[in-house]
Structure 1
Amino acid sequence: MHLGKVTPILRTFDEAKAREFYVDFLGFKVDWQHRFEDNFPLYLQVSRGDCVLHLSEHHGDASPGAAVRIQAEGLDAYLGQLQAKDYRFAKPGIEQTPWGTREMSIKDPFGNRLVFVEEGEG
C-alpha cells in the first residue's frame, strides 16, 4: 500500500479575513476557488511551496479549531517576513521544543492553529 499527500480542510467563515490572513499575511497564493452560485459558501485552495490547504465556508466540511503541523525549512527567515508585515492579529515567535524541533504556532481568524515545524539537528 502507498499513501499520498494529505490536504487538510480548514473551516473559515469570512472570505475577506481568510484572504487577509492566508494570502496577505502568510504569503500563500490562491490556486483556485469554487462556489456553486453567488451568495453561496466559498471553497478554495491555497498553497505556498509544497504546502496545500483547502479553506471552506461550507457547514460540515470541517470543524473550527483544527490544528495542522506543516514541515518547514528557513523558519527564522519566514518569521522575519511575518514580523515585517506587522499583522495586528498575530505576533508569532519560535519555540524550541523538548523533542528537538523548532515550532512557530499561529492561529487563523477562525480558531484553526497552524504549526510550522522545523526539524532540529541530530
Structure 2
Amino acid sequence: MLGAPIPVLRSFDEARVKAFYLDFLGFELVFEHRFEPGLPLYMGVVLGGCTLHLSEHYGDASPGGAVRIPCDDVIAYAAGLRAKQHGNARPGEPQPTPWGTREMTIHDPSHNKLTFFSELADAEV
C-alpha cells in the first residue's frame, strides 16, 4: 500500500522560507537537517495532513515547482492569511474553477506555486 507523497520544494533563503511557511501559512516545523554547520538546509513542515519538505540542496528540486493542496475551507484560510498582512504575499479571494473547485494560488519566496483548493458543493457548481 502507498502513502501520501511528500513534495520536495527548492528553497534559497532560510529566514524568508521560515517566515513564509511557519509564520504566514501556519505550518509547523517538523525537522531541520544539515550534514554539517554552514551546509544547505533540508527541513520538513506540516499543517494538518499536508507535509512538505524544503531543500536548499541544488539536486533535490528545481525552483518554480507547483503543488496543489486540498483545504477544508479555502475561503476562511485565505481570509486568515490576508489578515496577517504578510509583506510579500497577500492572496486574493479564492475563485471557482470549471473543474469544480475553489482555488487560491500563492508563490513562496523561491517562486514555488502553492495552490490551495476546496471542492465546490453541488449547489455551487
**Offset at residue 90 of structure 1 (A):** 1.1
Query: Structure 2 CA distance, aligned partners of 1:50 and 1:33?
Result: 19
Task: Look up the match of 2:113.
Answer: 113
Give distance in 1, aligned partners of 2:11 and 2:37.
17
Q: Percent identity?
A: 54
TM-score (norm 2): 0.94
Choose 39-48 or 80-89, whichever is displaced more: 80-89
Deviations 1:67-117 (A, max 9, x none): 000011111211121011101211112111111100010000101000001
Query: Could you tell me which residue of structure 2 aligns to residue 24 of structure 1?
Result: 23
Give the equivalent residue in structure 2 for 1:61: 60
- Structure 2 residue aligned with 1:103: 103
**Ranges in structure 1 where 5+ consecutive residues have no aligned partner:** none
Length, aligned pairs only: 121
What is the RMSD computed on CA atoms of the aligned residues?
0.8
- Segments ≥4 residues shifted beyond 4 Å: none
Alignment of 1:10 with 2:4, yes or no, is no
**What TM-score do you get using the length of structure 1 for normalisation?**
0.96
- Distance (whole Å) between structure 2 residues aligned to residue 46 and residue 22 of structure 1: 8
Once the two structures are TM-superposed, the CA of residue 50 in structure 1 deviates from its matched residue by 0.5
User: In 2, distance between residues paired with 1:46 and 1:80?
Assistant: 22
